[in-house]
């Protein structure tokens, strides 16, 4: 395990005592680690707390080693997983991903799992995303593919957060909330 991953995982484990059980966790690699999630969360009011447990440079094999301590231990009701961007040369990445899902399902059978597809158009990304969609059953495991037409990083983040935010809620948006978010 890389040193930065080990240090970050230990820091997450240290703050997990402060986390509320039954809430929402985002668990990913570099992209989600840099995603300005908390800035967007401050703007909206959600029924649940949302914890970002993403680590820059995290591979699926490293995630498999830390999923119990970093995610399962806080018993989230919804888990968003965004892994694979660091695994282009790992032939076992999808197998590791599947093991992560099985561990979560075994420990948290009532939790919903959302797999966030990789972004880009490379053959690796297309193949990886096809494998992610194959792991989904659309009952307890769902895939999310970000759709963004923005040419700026900030615009892309905003569009992607809007896509995710509907899954962060426990109830549907009211008409007033929908109009407020559209602005």
Number of domains making up the chain: 1
* pLDDT for res 138: 76
pLDDT at residue 179 is higher than 60:
no
Given a contact cutoff of 8 angstroms between Cβ atoms, the answer to whether 83 and 131 are in contact is no
Which has more confidence, 158 or 102?
102
Rounded CA gap, 73 and 19, in Å? 10
Q: Give whole-number Cα distances, 42 to 114, 158, 162, 168, 173, in Å.
A: 22, 13, 13, 13, 17
Given a contact cutoff of 8 angstroms between Cβ atoms, the answer to whether 72 and 101 are in contact is no
Rounded CA gap, 81 and 116, in Å? 6
* pLDDT for res 23: 92
Domain span at residue 158? 3-182
Q: What is the mean pLDDT of the chain?
A: 84
Residue with tokens 């590791």: 96
Confidence of residue 42 (pLDDT cuts 50, 70, 90): confident
62-67: average pLDDT: 97
Q: Between helices 93-107 and 123-135, what is the axis angle to 10°?
A: 30
Which has more confidence, 13 or 153?
13
Lowest average pLDDT, out of 86-100, 106-120, 159-173, goes to 159-173
Q: Which residues are paired to 140 by β-bridges?
A: none
Rounded CA gap, 177 and 171, in Å? 12
* pLDDT for res 89: 93
| CATH number of the domain bearing residue 140 | 3.40.50.1110
108-118: average pLDDT: 93
* pLDDT for res 90: 93
pLDDT at residue 166 is higher than 60:
no
pLDDT at residue 93 is higher than 80:
yes
* pLDDT for res 56: 95
| pTM attached to this predicted model | 0.82
């Amino acid at each position: 395990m890389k040193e930065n991953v080990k240090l970050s995982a230990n820091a997450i484990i240290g703050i997990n005592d402060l986390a509320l059980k039954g809430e929402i966790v985002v668990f990913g690699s570099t992209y989600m680690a840099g995603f300005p999630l908390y800035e967007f969360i401050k703007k909206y009011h959600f029924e649940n707390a949302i914890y970002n447990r993403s680590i820059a440079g995290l591979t699926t094999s490293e995630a498999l080693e830390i999923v119990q301590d970093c995610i399962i231990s806080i018993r989230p009701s919804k888990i968003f997983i965004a892994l694979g961007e660091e695994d282009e040369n790992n032939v076992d990445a999808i197998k590791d991903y599947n093991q992560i899902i099985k561990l979560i399902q075994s420990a948290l059978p009532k939790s919903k799992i959302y797999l966030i597809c990789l972004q880009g158009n490379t053959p690796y990304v297309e193949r990886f995303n096809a494998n992610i969609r194959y792991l989904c059953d659309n009952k307890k495991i769902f895939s999310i593919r970000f759709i963004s037409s923005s040419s700026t990083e900030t615009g892309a983040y905003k569009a992607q957060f809007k896509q995710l935010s509907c899954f962060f809620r426990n109830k549907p948006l009211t008409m007033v909330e929908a109009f407020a978010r559209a602005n």
